[in-house]
Structures are given as C-alpha cells and as structure tokens.
Amino acid sequence: MKTITWPILALMALCTVIGLDDIMYNFQNQGMPVITSWIIMCLLYVTPYSLMVGQLGSTFDKEGGGLSSWVRGTDGEFLGYFTAWTYWAASIPYAVDSANEIIVDLGWAVTGTKDFQYKIPTSLFAILTFVVFIIFIIVEHHFSNSMEFLSTIGGGLMIIMVILFVILAFFGLVKSGGHMATKNFGFHSIVPDFNLHYWSTVGMLIYAMNGCELVAPYVTKMKKPKTDFPKAMIALAVMTAFLTILGSFALGIYFDANHIPNDLKMNGAYYLFDMLGEQFGMGHFLLYFWAWTSLFFNCALVAVLLDAMTRMLISDTGDKYMPKFLRKKDKNGLPVNGYILTVALSSFIMILGIFLPDMNDIFNWLLNLNSIISPGVTCWIFYSFMRVRKNSKKYPSKYVYIKNDKVAWLVGIALLIVTAVATILGFAPQDIKQGTGLWWYELIINIVTVVVLIGLGAILPGIRRREVEYGVAFDKAQWIWMGILIIGSIILDIWLGSTKIPLRIAMIVIQAVIALILTWLVGRRKPANATK
C-alpha cells in the first residue's frame, strides 16, 4: 500500500481548512484584533481539534473514517444517520454561498469592476444562482471527471494566490516606506474587546478553521501514524497561523481596520489584488487573475458539494432511514432525486434572501448562516471523541491524543462547550445595526433555515416508515396540501419578520406551530393509493 508522508497530509488538510476569503471575512468582523483571535484559535482550538480527528480516523479506519461512521460506531445507526444528515445540511448554505460567489466572480472577471452589482436586483441574483445549480447538475451528468478537473485547477491556484498575497503585501509595506492604511498600529490595536459582538463572531472563526476531518481516512495510510500524524497536524497549525496572522496584518496594510468597507467580505479580495497590481506596476492583471482563480475554486466547491455530499448522504444512510424516492439513481448512478432535494433546499434559502436589500446583504447573511450551521456540525466531532475516551478499551487506536483518558475527555468537553456556545451566539446577525428591522428579519430567517434543515432530517425516517407500511409515503393530495401549508407558513413568517407589528415574534411562533400541526394532521392519514 502506498503511504502518505506527513508534509503531504498537512498540505491536504490546509486546503480544507483556510483560504483568503476566510481571512477576509473575519477581518471585517473583528478588525486588527482578529490577529489575537487567530493566535488563540491556532493554539487552543485547531491543534487539539486536528489531533482528536486523527484518533477518531484511526479508531474507525475500517468504516472509512467519516464523521457519521464515528458517531455510528459509538451511538448506533440512528444517531449516525442524523450526523450524516446534519453534515449534509451544513453543505446547503455553503453551496448557495459558493454559487453566489460564482456570480460575483463572473461579474468581476468580465467587467473588472463591481458596478454590475448595483444593476442586478436581488430576485435576479437568486435566479442566476439557481441557474448555476442546474448547469452544474447537467455538467456532472455528462462529464464524469469535471469535479476532479475543477478541484485541481481551483485548489492549486487558490493556495498560490494566498501565499502570493502575503509575500507581496510585506514587500509592498517595505516599498511604501512602512506606510499602512491602518493608522497608529500598535499592541493596543490587536487587543479584542470581549463584548457580545465579539463572541457572536467566534462562530465565523470556527467556520473558517474547521474541515480537517476530511483527511481523517488517510491517518491509517501513514507509515508511522503515532509520530507522523501529530507532525502533520502541528505543521497544519503552523501554516494556518502563518496565513491567518500575517494575512490579517497584511490586510491592515491596505485597509483601514477602523473604517472597513461594508462590502469587504464580498469584494475585498478584488480591491486588494487591484491595489497590489497597481503598486507593483501590473495594472489590473492581478485583479483579473484572482477573479478567474476564485471562479474555478468556487466552481470546484459547488461541484463537490452537489455531488460528493449528496452521494455520501444517500449511500451512507442506507434504506432504513432514507425514503426510497430519494435513493433513486439514474443509469449513470447519479442520485437524481437527491440532487433535486439539494436544489430545492438551496432555492428555499435563496427565497429567504430575496427580501434583503441588495447583493451584499445576501452575501453577508449567507456567511452568517454558515457560521451557525458549520460549527454546530463540528460539535459531533468532540462528542464522538468524548464517547471514545469514555471507553477507550472498547475503541483501540493506533494513534492516541493525550494518553490520560480523563484529561482527554475534559479537553473534548471544553471544545464542545466553546463550539456549542459559538453556534448559539452566531444566530445574532452580523454587519448590521442591532435591533433594526433588518436585524430582526435576519435573526428570524436564521432560525427558520436551521429549523427547516435540521427538522427535515428528523422527519425523513418517519416518511421511510410510511413507505414500508403503505408502499407509498403520501398520495398526491397530501403532497399538495402539505406543500401549500409549509410554503405558505414560510412566506407569512418572512412577511411578519419584515414588518414592525407589535408582538410579531409571538405571532410568527404561533402561526408556525399551527401550520406544523395542520401539516401533521394531513400527513398522518393513510394514503389513498396505499398498496399495503
């Protein structure tokens, strides 16, 4: 068997963990104090998190080392299924966000400016995002190696551009005689103000730095996992620290951390490479090069999320909990109805965003949503690690993180608590003034989205049981009435959230409960076309 060396594994993990956009997003949230946040996260979060992943991957190496297999191995089939579902559900907002970025990338790649963003209404932005999904389903259906091709080009270029950005920024600082856009930079500039806003942005830091569980299956392919895997994860932490700390400082060279542009998350990388190009006499070359790099990278992300994540969900959960109609495959082995479900839920999220004022608000809201769902899923990793260390004799491993089981368990629960709290606080909308109508609207659609994505995963096993009992889950009339009730309830929730009616929160909760009860009453009766 061909072995993987620790430097290669470290680089593979780096691709899944950090990128320039991650640095940009958190810089807008926290400014220069994000440097301190990155240091704390690299030392106290990324390193133990990565090493826990290594032990879990080694413990369950015969099951493929996936997150759902870890939970299934410690807590049985249903919790394993639900983990697979939440992991997949977390990819939906990520896929929508990546599809949105493709539209932004195309606009910059073609025009070289952000002017097109003011000409596209939010409804057209949503429609174009939907078209992106359809195009990728067609492409993956007809070109089997499209995902690998896009990943190779996009991933390789992205790493090059991030490293190039850090190097050029520091050369630029020397070239300008030490001039920085952030005035009076000093130690005081990087000290965070640990208020509610700060803690509500921790979820975005976790979202930026998680993902190394994707390399867990390769732990057992290392020649000396006991010594080589820790080396790889420490190297990962060092490289992550290098890119995030120096990258954030480099952003402070070109952007005033005290007056950050409101659209930095969406357009910041383009502003940055345009300034670098001008400073080094390359005109707009770097801007266009970044636009095409980002385009290929996000195309690869959408391809992976649509195909790999859907396949994982359908194949990993089997026929016990997943309805038969979702497991249907075409002649090429593609889970067609699984794709349809993915696109339907993505469309649902896009519809929620249509009522936001502009493209920038939609972009920022989707990032906020990712910083809720992604850390929430990461909680499963720490939970599974705690279960393994609670009974370490039952779960032997070639690689063990912290020999003492009690200490390891305490480290696991500490990271679980931090991640869970960050997830809850992440529901608070970012980038807008607290207490405004827009703030309340985003808070409501954050809650609605999470409830729908997670709640559907709890409902599907019940639908599967109906298929087993009656031959079909529901008849046509039931599907229609349940669809009307659910969609109508969502539209009413959105409308109420955008108004200033007193007690609107209570009204939203009441009508949502009524809609759910009516939906349950419609769905509980025996289908008219039952075959059993």
Whether 459 is in a domain gets the answer yes
Q: From CA 73, how far away is CA 57, in angstroms rounded?
A: 12
Largest CA distance in the chain: 81
Q: For residue 118, what are the domain limits? A: 6-473
Whether 118 is in a domain gets the answer yes
Whether 478 is in a domain gets the answer no
* Total of domains in the chain: 1
Helices (H), 474-503: 476-498
Whether 127 is in a domain gets the answer yes
Tens digit of each residue's pLDDT (9 = 90 or more) over 12-21: 777 667 778 8
User: In the chain, helix, strand, coil percent, each to 5?
Assistant: 80, 0, 20
Q: From CA 395, how far away is CA 408, in angstroms rounded?
A: 14
Write out the chain's pLDDT in tens, 532 residues.
567 788 877 777 776 677 788 888 899 999 999 999 999 998 889 889 888 888 887 788 766 546 778 888 888 888 888 888 888 888 888 888 888 888 889 999 988 888 888 888 777 787 888 788 778 777 766 655 555 566 667 667 777 888 888 889 888 888 888 888 888 888 888 888 888 888 888 989 998 887 777 676 677 677 777 777 778 878 888 888 888 888 899 899 999 988 888 888 889 899 999 999 999 999 899 999 999 988 888 887 777 677 666 666 666 565 678 787 777 776 666 677 777 788 788 878 887 777 788 888 888 898 888 889 889 989 999 999 999 999 888 888 888 888 899 999 999 999 999 999 999 998 988 878 887 888 888 888 888 888 888 888 888 888 888 888 888 888 889 989 988 888 888 778 767 766 777 777 788 778 888 988 999 899 888 888 887 7
CA 179 vs CA 155, 168, 250, 254, 327: distances in Å: 32, 14, 12, 9, 59
Whether 1 is in a domain gets the answer no
CATH number at residue 97: 1.20.1740.10
Whether 177 is in a domain gets the answer yes
276 φ, ψ to 5°?
-65, -40
Whether 368 is in a domain gets the answer yes
Whether 528 is in a domain gets the answer no
